[in-house]
Amino acid sequence: MSYIIALDIGGTNCRVALVNASYQIEAIHIVDTLVGDKHAFLQQVADAIRRFEHHFPEVLALSMGVPGRVDSQEHIAILPNIKITDVPLKTYLEHQFHKPVFIRNDAVMAALAEANLGYGKARPSTYFMTISTGIGGAFVRDHELTFSSEEIGHMLVPYQDRFIELEQRGSGTGIVALAKDHGLTVDSSRTFWQLVAMKKPETKPVYEAWLAIMKHTLLYIDTYFQPDIYVFSGGVMRNEAYFFHDFKALLPNRELVIAHLGQDAGILGAAYLGFSLTQSTKSL
C-alpha cells in the first residue's frame, strides 16, 4: 500500500492525514495552528507529520495546501492569517523527512479534489471557493488547474461608499466585523448564523450587507470564468442551512453546491496532487 501524507493548513487549524491510493483517509490528526511565530509553525507542522512516521516506508510524498501565496518554486511568500512571511516550509520538511514535498495554495488543493473526485468530476469546468477564516478560490478546466485566483479574498469590493478587501467583511472573521459595523456584537460567525436562524431582527441589515458583498464577488467571478459549476467549502459554509437558499439566488443561472468532499476537500486535493506527481509525469 502506498500513501501520501496530506496536510490542509489553515489559519485556525492544521489537519494532517494519511491517505491511501484509493483516496481513503486512514487516519487524521488536527491541531490548532500556531500563529505569529515562523519557527514554531515549522516545528508544529513537522511534529504533526511525525505522528505517521511508522508508515514512512510506504509514504510517497508529503503534499499540502497552505492559506497564502505559493510561487512556482513552491516557496511561500506570505501566510496572512498565520501572520508569517518568507516561509521555507518545503526545504525545511525535505531536510527533516527526505521525502518529496509539494505545496500549493489551499484553495488550489481543494479545487483539484472537487474537480477530479467530487461534484466537478463530470463537468468541463469548476470554480471552487472556500469561505472560512480567509477566502480563496481556483478555477479548474478539463480537470486541470487553469487559473489560480487563490488570493481572491484580497480583491476589492464596494462597501459603504468605499472599497475594502473581500475578506474584511466576507470571511468568517469578516462577518464578525460586519456585524459590529451594524451595532451587533457576536463572538464568531457561527453565533451570527444562529441568531439569523432565530430570526433576530438585528441580523437583517448584516445579512443583507453580506449577501450584497458576495453577490458582487460572484458576478465578478462569473464574468471572467463562466464555470459549469461553483463548489463551496470552508467554515462559513458549515452554516449553509441558514443562508444557502438565498446565496444560490445570487447567481440564478448557475449551479452552486456545497463541496461533495466537505471539509476533507483540501486533504484529498493534496493527496491527489501527491499521487499525480509521484506516479506520473503529469504536472499540475
Walk me through the domains of the chain, giving residue ranges and CATH numbers.
3-106+264-279 (3.30.420.40), 119-260 (3.30.420.40)
Question: Dmax of the chain from CA atoms?
Answer: 58
Average pLDDT estimate for 39-56: 97
225-253 pLDDT, tens digit per residue, is: 999 999 998 889 999 999 999 999 999 99
Strands (E), 161-207: 162-165
pTM of the model: 0.82
23: left (phi over 0), alpha (psi -120 to 50) or beta: left
- Note the pLDDT of residue 147: 62
Give the C-alpha separation, 222 to 228, whole Å.
10
- Note the pLDDT of residue 280: 52
| pLDDT at 149 > cutoff 80 | no
Average pLDDT estimate for 174-189: 98
Average pLDDT estimate for 87-102: 97
Give the C-alpha separation, 249 to 242, whole Å.
14
Give the C-alpha separation, 100 to 92, whole Å.
12
